[in-house]
Structure 1
Amino acid sequence: MMSASDSEASGGPLQPLMVQYAQAQRQYQQWLDKVTPFVLQRWLSTAGVLALFMLRIVFAQGWYIDAHAIYLLNLFLAFLQPRFDPSLQDDLMADEIEEGGEATSPLPSNRDDEFRPFVRRLPEWQFWLSATRATVIALFCTFFEAFDVPVYWPILVVYFFVLFALTMRRQIQHMIKYKYVPFDMGRKVRYGGAGHR
C-alpha cells in the first residue's frame, strides 16, 4: 500500500500546480452552479460581452475575420433543432411498419397525441456557456496582432447574412414540415389539476 507521503512524492514537482488547478476547477464549477437559475441575467451578461467585442472591432479597425459569428450561428441552429431529427425518424418508422411493428414519433403528430416536450439538440445552458466562452475568447484574441488577418470585410458580412438566410430558411421549412415550434409560447397548461377536464 502507498502511504500519503508516497502519493505526494509520485506527483513530483507538478503536484502543487495540479492541486491549484483542481481547486480552480471546483471554484469555477461552483460559480456556474450559482448562476444556472438566472437565465435572463446570464444572457444579458453575454450580450454585454458581445457588445464589448463588437466595440473593440469597431474602434481597433481590425479582426474582421470573424469565425465567431458563424460559430454562434451554428450554436443557434443546434439550439433550434430537435434532438431526434423527425426526417430520420420517418425513415425508421417506415422500416418498422414494413417489418410489421408499430411506429412512434418523438414529436406529437396531432392534438390528441400524448404530450412530448420539445427536446433540443443543444440545451439552453450549453448554448449559453458555449456562446459566452467563444465571445470571451474572441475578445481576448483581439488584443494580439497575430490574429488580425487583412481581408476585405464587406465580403465576410455578405457571406454571413447569406449563410444566415439560407440556413434559417431551411430550418423554418423543417419546422413547418414536422409541425414543431422550438419555443414556449402562450400560457403554460398544467395537466392533472382542477382546471384539466
Structure 2
Amino acid sequence: MDAPEPDTPFSAVSAQTTKFGRIFQSYLDKSTPFTAYRWTGTGVLFLLFALRIFFAQGWYIVAYSLGIYLLNLFLAFLSPKFDPSLEQDEGMEDGTAGGLPTKEEDEFRPFVRRLPEFKFWYSTTKAIALAFACSWSEIFNLPVFWPVLLVYWLILFGLTMRRQIQHMIKYRYVPFTVGKTRYSAK
C-alpha cells in the first residue's frame, strides 16, 4: 500500500492559488449587479492609461493594440450569438427562415449576445490593466509615427462599424435595450 505523499511546496502553492481564486471569484460575483460602478472603474482605469500615454509620449503600439482588441470585444458584444445570415441560409434549405418571426406561427427568439456584458466588462478591464502595466516597460516602447496608427484605427473602426450596422439593419435586430418598455412589480 502506498503511503500518502508528503506535502510539497508545490501543493501548498496550488492550495493558496485555489483559495485566492475562489476569493477573487466571489468578489466578481458580488460585483455583477453593479454595472454602472464596474464601468466607471474601468473608465477611470482607461483614463489613467490614456494620461500615461499622453504624458509619457510613447507606447503607441501598446495603445494601438489595446484599441484593436477593444474593437474586437465591442463587435462581439454587438453581435448575436447565432448569426442570422447562417441561420437564414440553413432555413432556406428546409423552407423556414431564421431570425425574427415573419409569420404568426414563427417562434420569437430574443437577442442573445455573442459576448455577454459581464464578460465584455471583465475582458476590457483586464486588457486595459495589462496595457497599463506594459506602458511601464521600455521593451514595449517601440518608435512609431502615431498619427498613422490613429488614422488606420479610425478607418478600421469606421469600416467595421458600417458593416456591423448594415448587418443589424439587414437582419432586423437591435443589441441594446435602451428605450424598450420595462415592467416592474408594484
TM-score by length of 2: 0.90
How many angstroms does 1:92 deviate by?
0.2
Q: Which residue of 2 aligns with 1:89?
A: 87
Q: Of the candidates 30, 35, 38, which is equivalent to residue 26 of structure 2?
A: 30
CA contact (8 A) 1:107 1:118 kept: no
3-state SS, counterpart of residue 58 of structure 2: coil
Q: In the alignment, what sits opposite 2:54?
A: 58
Task: Please say if residues 84 and 106 of structure 1, whose CA atoms lie closer than 8 Å, have aligned partners that are also in contact.
Answer: no
Matched, 1:177 2:175: no
Name the residue aligned to 1:122. 115
Amino acid at match of 1:152: F
Cα gap change, 1:50 to 1:189, in 2 (>3 Å):
closer
Q: Which amino acid aligns with 1:31?
A: Y
Q: Aligned residue for 1:131?
A: 124
Q: Paired residues, what number?
A: 182
Q: 5+ unaligned residues in a row in structure 2: which ranges?
A: none
Identity of aligned residues (%): 52
Q: How much does 1:15 deviate?
A: 1.6
The structure having more radius of gyration, on CA atoms, is 1
| Code of the aligned partner of 1:58 | F
- Equivalents in 2 of 1:2, 1:39: separation in Å? 52
- Contact 2:78/2:175 (8 A) holds in 1: yes
Q: Is 1:41 matched with 2:41?
A: no
Counterpart check, 1:186 vs 2:179: yes
Structure 2 counterpart SS, 1:59: helix
Root-mean-square deviation (CA), in Å?
Answer: 2.1
Q: Secondary structure at the match of 2:60?
A: coil
